[in-house]
Amino acid sequence: MADGAPTPTLKIGDVLEGRYRLDAILGEGGIGQVFEATQLALGTRVAIKTLRPEHAAEEHLVKRFRREAKALTELSHPHIVAVTDLGVAEGVPYLVMEKVEGLPLSKLLKREVLPPDRALALTRQILRAVAHAH
């Protein structure tokens, strides 16, 4: 971190603000991670997106992360994941989303060639979500 403080870390088994237990990593990107987690009070499965701890002190990235969360909370569409909470744990911003079951499209496309009717149906869903967001 810029002020010389140690970089915070989040790992499997951590409990965020006494409410969400991180159970597994679902994915990672350049500046973020997505965990599968349990909302402890209700026992429900959720997905939690965090900034990577090394980026948590970069104010422009924190602002962008919050803008993304706010934009997603304003969207309600069957093909857009719902955001249900936002917080900061151990200096790391996070947002809580519904946990969607299924295979990521990227893995599906590596596993099989989609029949034209299925590819068209998926494309329509994606385009409807994009159109709704814009």
pLDDT for res 2: 47
Could you read off the pLDDT of 98-123 as tens digits, one per residue? 998 888 888 888 999 999 999 999 99
Residue 30 pLDDT: 82
| Nearest residue to 10 (alpha-carbon basis) of 104, 92, 118, 67 | 92
